[in-house]
Chains A and B, each alone.
Chain A
Amino acid sequence: MSGNNDRIWGVMAEFESVDQILHAAREVRKAGFTKWDCHTPFPVHGLDDAMEVRPTRLPWVILLMGAIGVGSAQLMQHWMNGVDYAFNISGKPLISWPSSIPVTFEMMVLFAAFTAFFAMWIANDLPRWFHPLLRKPRFARATNDRFFVSIEARDPQFDAQRTADFLRGLHAASVETVEMPQEKAALPSFIKRSIVVVTCAALVPPAMIYNARHEPSARPPINLVPDMDDQAKFRPQGETSLFADNRMSRSPVAGTVARGELREDSAYWTGMIGERFVDKVPASVNVTPALLDRGQQRYGIYCAPCHDYSGKGEGTVNQAAIALAEVGKAAWTKPASLHDERIRLQVTDGELFNTITKGKNTMPGYAAQIGAEDRWAIVLYVRALQLRQQPAGR
Chain B
Amino acid sequence: MSDNRNILADCQAGDLAGKTARIGLAVGLLGLAGGAALGYAGNDHERQTQFWFAYLAAFFWMLTIGLGTMLFSLVAHLVGAHWSVTVRRLAEITQANLPILCLFGLPLLYPLLTDDVTVWRWAHAGDAGHAAAEAGHAAPADLGRQLAETEHHRLAAHKRPYLNVTFLLIRFAIYGCVWWLLSRYYFKGSVKQDTAADFAPTRRMRKWSAPSVIIFALTITFASFDLLMSLDEAWFSTIFGVNIFAGAFMSCFAWLILATKYLQSRGRMTQVVTAEHYHDLGKMMFAFTCFWGYTAFSQFMLMWYANMPEETHWFKDRLSPAWLEWSWLLMFGHFLVPFLGLMSRHVKRHKFALPLWAGYMLLMHWVDMYWIVMPNMNPSPTAEHNPVGAMDLLLLVGMAGILVWATARRAAGQALVPVGDPLLDKCLAHKNV
Is residue A101 contacting chain B, with contact meaning CB distance below 8 A?
Answer: yes
User: With A43-B433, A45-B431 known to touch, is A310 a contact of B301 (CB < 8 Å)?
Assistant: no
Q: Mark A320-351, 1 if CB is under 8 A from B, else 0.
A: 00000000000000000000000000000000
When the two chains form the complex, which single residue of B144, B305, B345, B431 contacts A99, counting CB atoms closer than 8 Å? B305
A356 CB-CB contact with B under 8 Å: no
Are A304 and B144 in contact (CB-based, < 8 A)? yes
CA distance A63 to B433 in the complex (A): 20
In the complex, which of the residues A59, A99, A293, A300 contacts B301, with contact meaning CB atoms closer than 8 Å?
A99
Docked complex: A257-288 residues within 8 A CB-CB of B = none
- Hey, which chain A residues are within 8 Å of B307, CB to CB? 90, 92
Q: How far is the CA of A308 from the CA of B147 in the complex (A)?
A: 12
Shortest CB-to-CB span from A313 to chain B, Å, is 14
Query: Do B300 and A98 touch across chains, with their CB atoms under 8 A apart?
Result: yes
Binary per-residue interface labels of chain A (234-245) against chain B in the complex, 1 for a CB within 8 Å, 0 otherwise: 000000000000
Complex Cα spacing A59 to B143, Å: 55
Q: Say whether, besides A43-B433, A45-B431, A90-B307, A98 and B301 are in contact (CB < 8 Å).
A: yes
Task: Kindly list 15 other residue pairs between chains A and B, CB separation below 8 angstroms, not including A99-B301, A309-B143.
Answer: A45-B431, A45-B433, A46-B431, A59-B345, A63-B343, A92-B305, A92-B307, A98-B305, A296-B150, A297-B147, A300-B144, A309-B142, A309-B147, A310-B142, A310-B143
Which residues of B sit under 8 angstroms from A46, Cβ to Cβ? 431
Chain A contacts of B344 at CB under 8 A? Answer: 59
A-B contact pairs, 8 of them (CB 8 A): A43-B433, A45-B433, A46-B431, A98-B304, A293-B150, A300-B147, A309-B144, A309-B147
Report which of B142, B301, B431, B433 forms a contact with A101, defined as CB distance below 8 A. B301
Residues in A neighbouring B305, C-beta threshold 8 A: 92, 98-99
The yes or no answer to B297 lying at the interface (CB within 8 A) is yes
A99 to B306 CA separation, bound complex (whole angstroms): 11
Which A residues fall within an 8 A CB radius of B?
43, 45-46, 59, 63, 90, 92, 98-99, 101-102, 293, 296-297, 300, 304, 308-310, 385
Minimum Cβ distance to chain A for residue B203 (Å): 29
**Which residues of B sit under 8 angstroms from A385, Cβ to Cβ?**
143
- Residues B296-327 near A (CB distance < 8 A): 297, 300-301, 304-305, 307
Distance to closest chain A CB from B150 (angstroms): 8
Q: Chain A contacts of B301 at CB under 8 A?
A: 98-99, 101-102
A99–B297 Cα distance when bound, in Å, is 11
Taken together as a complex, chains A and B put the C-alpha atoms of A304 and B307 apart, in Å, by 13
Q: Is the CB of A296 within 8 A of B147?
A: yes
10 nearest CB pairs, A to B = A309-B144, A309-B143, A45-B431, A98-B304, A300-B147, A98-B301, A43-B433, A310-B143, A101-B297, A309-B142
Q: Which residues of B contact A293 (CB under 8 A)?
A: 150
Q: How many residues of B contact A (CB 8 A)?
A: 16
Residues of B within 8 A of A92 (CB): 305, 307
Q: Which residues of B contact A43 (CB under 8 A)?
A: 433
Distance in Å: Cβ of B327 to nearest Cβ of chain A: 12
How far is it, in angstroms, between the C-alpha of A354 and the C-alpha of B293 when the chains are bound?
Answer: 49
Specify which chain A residues have a CB less than 8 angstroms from the CB of B431 in the assembled complex. Answer: 45-46
How many angstroms between the C-alpha atoms of A244 and B143 in the bound complex? 59
A99 vs B300: C-alpha distance in the bound complex, in angstroms? 10
B347 → A minimal CB distance (Å) = 12
CB contacts (< 8 Å) of B300 on chain A: these are 98
A310 to B144, CA, bound (A): 8
Residues of the B chain whose Cβ atoms lie less than 8 Å from the Cβ of A90: 307
Q: In this complex, what residue of B is CB-closest to A102?
A: B301
Shortest Cβ distance from B239 into chain A, in angstroms? 15
Expressed in whole angstroms, the minimum distance between the Cβ of A91 and any Cβ of chain B is 8
- Distance to closest chain B CB from A178 (angstroms): 28
CA distance A43 to B305 in the complex (A): 48
CB neighbours (8 Å) of A297 from chain B are 147
A138 and B343 CA atoms in complex are apart in Å by: 42
Bound CA span A43–B433, Å: 7
- Interchain CA distance A45-B432 in the complex, whole Å: 8
Residues of B within 8 A of A98 (CB): 300-301, 304-305
Assembly CA distance A92 to B312 (angstroms) = 14
CB distance from B306 to the nearest CB of A (A): 9
A309–B147 CA distance with the chains assembled, in angstroms: 9
Q: Please, what's the 1-or-0 string for B391-433, where 1 marks a CB less than 8 Å from any CB in chain A?
A: 0000000000000000000000000000000000000000101
Which residues of B in the span 332-351 have a Cβ within 8 Å of any Cβ on A?
343-345
Taken together as a complex, chains A and B put the C-alpha atoms of A92 and B306 apart, in Å, by: 10
Tell me, in angstroms, the Cα distance from A90 to B305 when the chains sit together.
9
Closest residue on chain B to residue A90 by CB atoms: B307
What residues of B have a CB within 8 angstroms of the CB of A308 in the complex? 144
CB of B290 to closest CB in A, whole Å: 11
**Beta-carbon contacts of B26-56 to A below 8 Å, as 1s and 0s?**
0000000000000000000000000000000
Instruction: Find the B residue at minimum CB distance from A96.
Output: B304
CA distance A310 to B143 in the complex (A): 6
CA distance A59 to B142 in the complex (A): 54
Q: Which residues of B142-188 have CB atoms within 8 Å of chain A's CB atoms?
A: 142-144, 147, 150
The CA-CA distance from A90 to B308 in the complex, in Å, is: 12
Give Cα distance in the complex from A92 to B307, angstroms: 9
- Shortest B132–chain A CB gap in Å is 18
Task: Determine the distance from Cα of A63 to Cα of B341 in the docked complex, in whole angstroms.
Answer: 12
| Complex interface: chain A residues within 8 A of B297 (CB) | 101
Q: Tell me how far the C-beta of A378 lies from the nearest C-beta in chain B, rounded to whole angstroms.
A: 14
In chain A, what residue has the closest Cβ to B432? A45
How long is the Cα–Cα vector from A43 to B432 in the complex, in angstroms?
11
Q: Closest CB of chain A to B283's CB: distance in Å? A: 14
A73 nearest CB across to chain B (Å): 15
Q: How far is the CB of A41 from chain B (nearest CB, A)?
A: 15
**Bound CA span A14–B317, Å:** 70
Most chain B CB atoms below 10 A, which of A92, A101, A309: A309
In the complex, the chain A residue whose C-beta lies closest to that of B140 is: A388
Question: Closest Cβ of chain B: how far from A301's Cβ, in Å?
Answer: 10
Complex Cα gap A309–B431 (Å) = 63
Q: Which chain B residues lie closer than 8 Å to A304 at the CB level?
A: 144
Q: How far is the CB of B314 from chain A (nearest CB, A)?
A: 15
B150 contacts across to A, CB distance below 8 A: 293, 296
Q: How far is the CA of A296 from the CA of B300 in the complex (A)?
A: 27
List of A residues within 8 angstroms of B433 by Cβ: 43, 45
Residues of the B chain whose Cβ atoms lie less than 8 Å from the Cβ of A296: 147, 150
Mask of B116-147 contacts with A, CB within 8 angstroms, 1/0: 00000000000000000000000000111001
Q: Which residues of A contact B343 (CB under 8 A)?
A: 63
Give Cα A304 to B344, complex, Å.
50
Closest residue of chain A to B431 (Cβ to Cβ) is A45
Q: Which residue of A lies closest to B305 (CB)?
A: A99
For residue A66, give the distance in angstroms from its CB to the closest CB of chain B. 10
- Complex alpha-carbon distance, A90 and B343, angstroms: 38
Q: How far is the CA of A293 from the CA of B150 in the complex (A)?
A: 10
Chain A nearest CB: distance from B389 CB in Å? 31
Residue with the highest number of chain B CB atoms closer than 10 Å, among A45, A63, A102, A385: A45
Give Cα A285 to B344, complex, Å.
69
